[in-house]
Amino acid sequence: MVQVIAVCYALFILAPSSRLLQMVLAASPLIRAELAVPLVMSMVWARSAREKKLAAMTGAAILFSGSWVSLGYTIMQTFYQTLTTC
């Protein structure tokens, strides 16, 4: 799956205004957490080199990452409550 995302990153270099690629790359840290680094690097590159506004990509990245963190917090909170009630 990471190899497919790598191709998407390469395509993003060629066409940074593609909304589909922006959404796929924004969701890439959900596949592997390490993909957050290339996501930030590609966003910085697109913003500085191509002067593209990436509001959709930024919003999607925050939405995907925020929901993942929220889910993890809920799971840990439920686990902790289960341990303390036993």
Query: H helices then E strands: how many in the chain?
Result: 4, 0
Cα 59 from Cα 2, distance rounded (Å): 22
Cα 84 from Cα 17, distance rounded (Å): 50
pLDDT band at 86 (very low <50, low <70, confident <90, very high): low
pLDDT band at 24 (very low <50, low <70, confident <90, very high): very high
The pLDDT tens digits for 35-80 are: 889 998 998 888 887 776 788 888 888 887 777 677 777 878 888 8
Side chain identity, residue 20:
L
- Give me the pLDDT at residue 49, please: 75
Two structure tokens written together for 65? 């990452």
